[in-house]
């Protein structure tokens, strides 16, 4: 039970950005050339230590450690059925880590490279621990429920920040010191006025938006899960409890997270949320078709996909009515806009580094390498505030650990995705597929999944959840239920 408690506390601390500076690898402070200890490290290392102890000493772990027997694999015959995908995952991730380690030999700042490699190694170990722990303990729904609760709480914080146009004094939780006069604070121009974007307790609105997007998908899962019911006409008490209390609560939570997401003004997160919503609607619709939910005209309940679509349409209408005045102007994109132009410059910078150093410049060393070789100035980025990592996860990986390192990572991701598509069309499979697609899409627009601790935790947690679903036993009865309509 202690391992499970540490795991959930770790999840709670994903949005908490509290950190302490340990060492600066270069003169002067620079975010991406500094070693930090994060408050979440305490619970991350504690979770891994207890988990590894129980796995290395199986006799010391009790049955209460993994209370859900449906997620346990006891016989050797059952275990052998799932050895191949697990082994493939470990092999590919080992190759990925090999190239990350090899890149240290090409690094300008080897201390920074060792620190970055250690961070990556911890994340990978966490991924396999999460996959096995969630699979065996049956914590899938609880994890998504906790992410949903955290997203709602963060949305409230973000809304209050936007309303005050200042921080809330939550620095102990990692809140950035945002104000209208503070330098470097991200703002958006709306109707001639500069408005501070919502940060939550994250270092930037974009990574805040990514977290809210994952929370939104988690809420979709919980809401659609609550729609599972038989076709009988319920009495008033059952209808009130199921709709007015439970489902309405989920819809309010979805609306709150959508408000928080809107106030981040993160267009990449908006794109991710739109794609996630469309995918969720499509997959639930396909499940309804497979379960023949549309072939029951006498059923009291409409198919889940119809109800989900109606609910999301209502949320969108209320959202536009409340915040359309700030959202619509931000939705307009111009290639001459500074943030867009910078991202294009970062992409060209990343391609130039890959062309110069196909085996990478060393993990964690892209910013340092670009600065030392004058590449930022060469691509027109003369301000120190613009000397940031390449705003593309895949180009950043390729520039730091090489083309082969990126290729091993992509093969690993493709293998995970292919396994998801091969499984039966289930709600759990659908939600992890959407979570994975969401982080992969967001990876095209920013670097935080590779460079910032909160982003790394999100990326590798999602991968761990995917592995938990695809590596668990799927019996013939573990299919989409035919009467969920």
Are the beta carbons of 362 and 113 closer than 8 angstroms?
Answer: yes
| pLDDT higher than 90, residue 210 | yes
Buried b / exposed e across 440-477, counting CB within 10 Å, b at 16+? bbbbbbbbbbbbbbbbbbbbbbbbbbbbbbbbbebeee
370 with 430, same domain: the answer is yes
153 with 299, same domain: the answer is yes
| pLDDT higher than 80, residue 351 | yes
295 with 390, same domain: the answer is no
Decide if 295 is inside a domain. yes
The pair of structure tokens assigned to 276 is: 């996630």
| pLDDT higher than 60, residue 444 | yes
Alpha-carbon distance of 75 to 64, in angstroms, equals: 19
323 with 345, same domain: the answer is no
116 with 256, same domain: the answer is no
Q: Which of 294, 314, 331 is the last residue of a domain?
A: 331
List pLDDT tens digits, range 249-287. Answer: 999 999 999 999 999 999 999 999 999 999 999 998 988
List pLDDT tens digits, range 145-165. Answer: 999 999 999 999 999 999 999
Decide if 313 is inside a domain. yes
Task: With cut-offs at 50, 70 and 90, classify the pLDDT of residue 167.
Answer: very high
Q: What pLDDT does 300 receive?
A: 53
Alpha-carbon distance of 123 to 10, in angstroms, equals: 13
List pLDDT tens digits, range 377-434. Answer: 999 888 888 899 999 999 999 999 999 999 999 999 998 888 887 775 788 898 999 9
Report the domain count for the chain.
2
Task: With cut-offs at 50, 70 and 90, classify the pLDDT of residue 82.
Answer: very low
Q: What is the mean pLDDT of the chain?
A: 85
177 with 312, same domain: the answer is yes
List pLDDT tens digits, range 451-467. Answer: 999 999 999 999 999 99
pLDDT cut 70: percent of the chain above it: 85
Decide if 484 is inside a domain. no
Are the beta carbons of 375 and 349 closer than 8 angstroms?
Answer: yes
440 with 360, same domain: the answer is yes
Decide if 428 is inside a domain. yes
Q: Which of 331, 357, 383 is the last residue of a domain?
A: 331
Domain hosting 359: range is 2-138+336-470
| pLDDT higher than 80, residue 473 | no
Decide if 94 is inside a domain. yes
Decide if 483 is inside a domain. no
Decide if 358 is inside a domain. yes
Alpha-carbon distance of 329 to 176, in angstroms, equals: 25
Q: Which of 331, 353, 370 is the last residue of a domain?
A: 331
305 with 352, same domain: the answer is no
265 with 303, same domain: the answer is yes
Q: What pLDDT does 304 receive?
A: 85
Decide if 482 is inside a domain. no
Cβ atoms < 10 Å from Cβ of 288:
21
298 with 165, same domain: the answer is yes
322 with 419, same domain: the answer is no
């Amino acid at each position: 039970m202690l391992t499970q408690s540490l795991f959930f506390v770790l999840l709670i601390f994903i949005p908490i950005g509290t950190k302490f500076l340990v060492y600066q690898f270069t003169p002067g402070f620079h975010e991406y050339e500094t070693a930090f200890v994060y408050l979440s490290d305490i619970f991350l290392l504690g979770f891994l230590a207890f988990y590894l102890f129980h796995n290395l000493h199986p006799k010391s772990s009790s049955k209460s450690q993994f209370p859900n027997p449906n997620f346990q694999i006891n016989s050797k015959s059952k275990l052998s059925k799932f050895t191949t995908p697990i082994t493939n995952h470990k092999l590919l991730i080992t190759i990925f880590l090999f190239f990350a380690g090899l890149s240290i030999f090409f690094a300008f700042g080897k201390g920074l490279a060792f620190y970055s490699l250690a961070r990556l190694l911890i994340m990978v170990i966490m991924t396999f621990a999460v996959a096995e722990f969630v699979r065996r303990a049956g914590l899938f729904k609880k994890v998504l429920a906790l992410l949903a609760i955290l997203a709602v709480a963060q949305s409230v914080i973000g809304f209050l920040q936007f309303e005050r146009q200042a921080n809330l004094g939550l620095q102990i939780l990692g809140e950035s010191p945002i104000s209208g006069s503070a330098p470097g604070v991200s703002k958006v121009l709306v109707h001639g006025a500069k408005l501070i974007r919502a940060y939550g307790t994250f270092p930037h609105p974009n990574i805040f938006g990514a977290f809210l997007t994952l929370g939104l998908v988690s809420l979709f899962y919980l809401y659609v899960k609550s729609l599972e019911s038989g076709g009988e006409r319920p009495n008033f008490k059952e209808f009130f409890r199921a709709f007015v209390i439970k489902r309405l609560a989920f819809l309010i939570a979805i609306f709150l997270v959508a408000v928080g997401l809107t106030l981040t003004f993160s267009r990449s997160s908006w794109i991710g949320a739109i794609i996630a919503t469309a995918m969720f609607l499509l997959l639930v619709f396909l499940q309804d078709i497979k379960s023949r939910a549309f072939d029951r005209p006498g059923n009291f309940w409409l198919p889940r996909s119809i109800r989900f679509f109606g609910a999301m349409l209502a949320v969108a209408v209320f959202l536009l009515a409340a915040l359309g005045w700030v959202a619509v102007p931000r939705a307009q994109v111009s290639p001459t806009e500074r943030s867009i132009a910078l991202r294009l410059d970062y992409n060209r910078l990343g391609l130039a580094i890959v062309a110069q150093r196909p085996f990478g410049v060393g993990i964690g060393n892209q910013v340092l390498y670009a600065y030392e070789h004058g590449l930022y100035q060469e691509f027109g980025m003369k301000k120190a505030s613009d000397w940031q990592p390449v705003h593309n996860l895949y180009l950043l990986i390729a520039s730091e650990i090489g083309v082969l390192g990126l290729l091993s990572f992509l093969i690993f991701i493709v293998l995970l995705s292919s396994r998801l598509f091969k499984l039966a069309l289930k709600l759990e499979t659908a939600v992890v597929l959407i979570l994975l697609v969401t982080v992969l899409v967001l990876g095209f627009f920013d670097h935080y999944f590779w460079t910032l601790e909160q982003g790394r935790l999100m990326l590798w947690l999602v991968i761990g959840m995917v592995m938990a679903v695809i590596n668990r036993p799927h019996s013939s009865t573990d299919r989409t239920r035919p009467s969920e309509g």
